[in-house]
């Protein structure tokens, strides 16, 4: 067994998931490629969304991949930081907004 759950070299082996189920992997990678192509949103905008989501799901592979991709696509450092603040704001906000639920419950139970 590896002595760490995450190894940076494993990111390059992503395609190897196809060795155990090629049909599903092929479908996934084809769909993934289409998702990130230029469309109504540019590939650059999609890369920034991916970077923000990567921080939300806290996937180190995705953070490596989309920090590199954003750099390659010419996104400024400030642009990348703003994107992850958006992710952080949603994460923080999503906790805090449940405060209303907490208040509702407390109010219902209180005299």
Partner 1 sequence: MKSLHAQNKPLAEPAEQLAILAGAPFLEGQLPTFQNQLQSIGQWPLTPKKLEIFQVNLGYMCNQVCQHCHVDAGPDRKEIMTRQTMQACLEAMARSGAHTLDLTGGAPEMNPDFRWFVEEAAKIGVNDFIVRCNLTIVVANKKYNDLPQFFARHQVHVVSSLPYYEVQRTDRQRGEGVFHKSIEALRMLNAEGYGMPGSPLKLDLVYNPSGAFLPNNQQGLEADFKAALFRDYGIHFHQLFAITNMPISRYLEYLLASDNYEDYMDTLVRAFNPAAVENVMCRNTVSVGWDGRIFDCDFNQMLQLPCSTKAKHVEQLSPEDWNNRSIVVASHCYGCTAGSGSSCQGTLTNA
HEC string of the chain equals CCCCCCCHHHHHHHHHHHHCCHHHHHHHHHHHHHHCCCCCCCHHHHHHHHHHHHHHHCCHHHHHHHHHHHHHCCCCHHHHHHHHHHHHHHHHHHHHHHHHHHHHHHHHHCC
Q: Does 7 bind partner 1 (CB under 8 A)?
A: no
- Which of 14, 28 has the CB closer to partner 1? 14
Binder among 17, 35, 41, 71 for partner 1 (CB under 8 A) = 71
Piece of 38-46, 53-61, 85-93, 97-105 that binds partner 1 (CB under 8 A): 38-46
Piece of 24-32, 36-44, 48-56, 80-88 that binds partner 1 (CB under 8 A): 36-44
Phi, psi of 17 (to 5 degrees): -60, -20
Piece of 54-62, 73-81, 90-98, 99-107 that binds partner 1 (CB under 8 A): 73-81
Question: Closest approach of Cβ 20 to partner 1, in Å?
Answer: 22
Tell me how far apart the terminal alpha carbons of the chain are, to the nearest angstrom. 57
Q: Does 81 bind partner 1 (CB under 8 A)?
A: no
- Which of 12, 108 has the CB closer to partner 1? 12
Q: Which residues bind partner 1 (CB under 8 A)?
A: 12, 42-44, 68, 71-74, 76-77
């Amino acid at each position: 067994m590896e002595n760490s759950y995450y190894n940076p070299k494993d990111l390059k082996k992503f395609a190897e998931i196809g060795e155990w189920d090629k049909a599903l992997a092929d479908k996934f990678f084809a769909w993934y490629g289409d998702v990130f192509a230029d469309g109504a949103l540019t590939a650059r905008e999609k890369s920034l969304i991916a970077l923000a989501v990567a921080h939300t799901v806290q996937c180190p592979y995705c953070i490596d991949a989309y920090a590199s991709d954003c750099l390659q696509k010419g996104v400024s450092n400030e642009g990348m930081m703003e994107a992850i603040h958006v992710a952080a704001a949603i994460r923080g906000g999503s906790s805090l907004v449940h405060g209303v639920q907490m208040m509702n419950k407390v109010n219902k139970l209180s005299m």
